[in-house]
Structure 1
Amino acid sequence: MTKKTYRDKNCDLDVLNKQIESWFSDQGYEVQGNKTEGSWCLQAQKTEGWRKAVGASRAFTILIEGQSNEFSVEVGTGEWASNLVAGGVAAVLTGGVSLIGSGLATGWAKKIEGDIWKFIEEQIIFKAKMKSERELTLLKEQESRQDKLKQLQDAFDQGFIDEVAYQAKKQEIEHKAQDNLKNTELNEKLIKLKNALDSGILSSEEYQKKKAELISQSSHAELDNKLSQLRAALASGIVNQEEFDVKAAQIQKEIAFAEKLKQLENAKNAGVITLEEFEQKKAALLA
């Protein structure tokens, strides 16, 4: 195999492996892969015409090993593993891996090798960068949601839960994912706001005002979302009209309170009322 080593590239190796897999798939290759701790192995083989030209079961083999800031990539050809998912890297290496060219003595095969390396290095240099903490959080949330929805669908398909329970749990999973996304966005905004305070862009008073506005907006949006969820539950038969009316009245009351509290805070921040008056009026709202 032809091997290259890379250092200090801050490369997300999961992303790199997926990009290589997509490149082969787009070229019309059949692709299989396996991942172990610190190792990604991928095989790609062409159609019947390719097999006749290069030997019955030969396939391109890509092996990535290491960590984001120090890793190696190897490209060669080897036996197409009958079960790469089960056998992993060992299933490929025990079949023998050779340099491209020794078993593929054609100019166009060498061109493919060059195209592969060109693509890989473009990904390493420009695209397969480590994701931000927020991107990683969102990816994990998405994967968790998809996994839960799949398990829920399986339970429904096997008759473990009925249609009503399925729809209720599905809405619960999706709405929780939406809430998590909103919380992530709010936390990101609050961090940026704190950075603006620390760097002197905002005064302490401006910071507190903006912070209160962000939290208030988030709270109001959350209440609106709850009301939307309740309407959906009514439409799908999860709650009846009487239950809907009771819960909707409670949410509307919370929305009205949030709006009045926001107006009070605006009045306090604008100097219309004193802090003492604000606390008195706030206590009256809570009573």
Structure 2
Amino acid sequence: MKTRVKEYNGKSVDLDKLSAVIETYFQNEKFKTQLGKHPNGTLIQATKEGLLRSIAGMDRAYSITVSGTPDDAKISIGMGKWLQDLGVAAIESFLLTPELAFFEVPESLWSFEIEDKFWKYIENQINLGIQ
């Protein structure tokens, strides 16, 4: 899965509400989530939990960044390491140097389906007016 980025220009989006909507979306899909704020944006991480994943040491998570301004919002989604502590330095790595923070994982039908459903939901929410 490569990092996907979408920009929403001229939509007057409340970025804090958008971040909360994204976190709630993944929670409703039965993901464990965490959210960290930084002056340059927000990082939301979402991962599936389970015994098998723990045993296998799978610490991968969807990492979603929300940045920009209300009239020029930017959302990025990719796979990154689940961070135990979302400190300022960790969030900066995702917001300022995303090419180093995300890692490449093989595409799978499951991840494509999750991502496709996510984008449709977010675009619908933005078009309905997260303000």
Query: Common fold, TM-score beyond 0.5?
Result: yes
The one of 103, 106, 113 aligned to 2:105? 103
Q: Which amino acid aligns with 1:89?
A: I
1:89 alignment counterpart = 91
SS at match of 1:28: coil
Aligned residue for 2:46, secondary structure, equals strand
The structure whose residues are more often helix, as a share, is: 1
Report matched runs for 1:1-287 at 5 Å. 1-48=3-50, 51=53, 56-90=58-92, 92=94, 93=98, 96-98=101-103, 102-129=104-131
CA distance in 1, matches of 2:7, 2:68: 10
The letter of the residue matching 1:59 is A
Report the number of matched residues.
125
Quick one: higher RCO (CA 8 Å, sep 6+), 1 or 2? 2
- How far, CA to CA, are the matches of 1:20 and 1:50 in structure 2? 26
Q: TM-score when scaled to structure 2?
A: 0.83
Q: Cα distance 1:60–1:49, how it changes in 2: closer, same or farther (>3 A)?
A: farther
Change (3 A) 1:74 1:44: same
From the superposition, tell whether residues 32 and 123 of structure 1 become closer, same or farther in structure 2 (CA, over 3 Å).
same
Contact 1:35 1:88 in 2 (8 A): no
Structure 1 residue ranges, 4+ long, deviating more than 6 angstroms after superposition: none
Q: Which amino acid aligns with 1:96?
A: A
In structure 2, do the counterparts of structure 1 residues 94 and 57 end up closer, same or farther at CA, with 3 Å as the change threshold? Answer: farther
- What is the TM-score with the length of structure 1 in the denominator? 0.40
Q: Report if aligned partners of 1:3, 1:72 keep a CA contact under 8 Å in 2.
A: yes
Give the secondary-structure state (helix, strand or coil) at the position aligned to 2:61. Answer: strand
Which amino acid is the alignment partner of residue 69 of structure 2?
Answer: Q
CA contact (8 A) 1:84 1:91 kept: no
| Partners of 2:41 and 2:67 within 8 A in 1 | yes
Alpha-carbon distance between aligned partners in 2 of 1:114 and 1:50, rounded to the nearest angstrom: 25
**In structure 2, C-alpha distance between the alignment counterparts of 1:11 and 1:28, rounded to whole Å:** 26
How far apart are residue 13 of structure 1 and its match?
Answer: 0.7
Gaps of 5+ in 1: 130-287
- Tell me how far apart the structure 2 counterparts of residues 88 and 39 of structure 1 sit (CA, whole Å): 12
Give the superposition deviation at 1:24. 0.6
Rounded Cα–Cα distance in structure 2 between residues aligned with 1:83 and 1:103: 23
AA partner of residue 77 (structure 2): V
User: 1 CA distance for matches of 2:110 and 2:72?
Assistant: 31
- Cα RMSD of the aligned pairs, angstroms, is 2.4
Determine if contact 2:11/2:71 at 8 Å carries over to the other structure: yes
Distance in 2 separating the partners of 1:46 and 1:16: 21
Paired residue secondary structure (1:84): coil
DSSP 3-state at the match of 2:12: coil
Quote how far apart the aligned CAs of 1:19 are. Answer: 0.6
SS at match of 1:9: coil
